[in-house]
């Protein structure tokens, strides 16, 4: 069996399950937000602030952010391994994406939790 050094021991089934699970989480979050906006006729700052001040919404938002980063990482990794054949360039691009993704995660934590 041939293993790819960039996969860190993941298999295609593992990536498939992660992609589908993260897609379900992203879809649930989107449906919830669209439904909330549709049901809140005069959407004011107080209503929006009240929604994101509750603990369940903060947790749901953080889980969704992590799901988005997992989904994006697998997609970027697949595109880079398919289309960027130069190993050093692919490594630099993957490293850049990881740095950006972790900065998004840190920003999301600070924004949602007010740390």
- For 9-113, the fitting CATH number among 1.10.3720.10, 3.40.50.300, 3.20.20.70, 1.20.1300.10 is 1.20.1300.10
Q: Give tens-digit pLDDT for 36-49.
A: 999 988 999 999 99
CB 84 within 8 A of CB 93: yes
d(CA 23, CA 28) in angstroms, rounded, equals 9
Task: Determine the length of the chain.
Answer: 115
Per-residue pLDDT band at 8 (split at 50, 70, 90): low
> pTM for this one?
0.84
Structure tokens that stand for 2 in this block: 């041939």
Contact 52, 112 (CB under 8 A): yes
Write down the mean pLDDT value for the chain.
90
Distance CA 28, CA 30 (A): 5
């Amino acid at each position: 069996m041939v293993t790819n050094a960039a996969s860190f021991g993941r298999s295609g089934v593992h990536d498939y399950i992660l992609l589908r699970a993260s897609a379900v989480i992203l879809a649930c979050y989107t449906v919830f937000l669209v439904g909330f906006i549709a049901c809140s006729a005069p959407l004011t700052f107080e209503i929006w602030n009240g929604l994101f001040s509750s603990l369940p919404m903060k947790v749901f938002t953080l889980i969704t952010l992590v799901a988005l980063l997992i989904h994006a990482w697998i997609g970027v990794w697949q595109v880079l391994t398919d289309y960027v054949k130069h190993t050093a360039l692919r490594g630099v691009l993957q490293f850049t994406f990881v740095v950006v993704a972790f900065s998004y995660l840190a920003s999301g934590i600070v924004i949602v939790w007010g740390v």
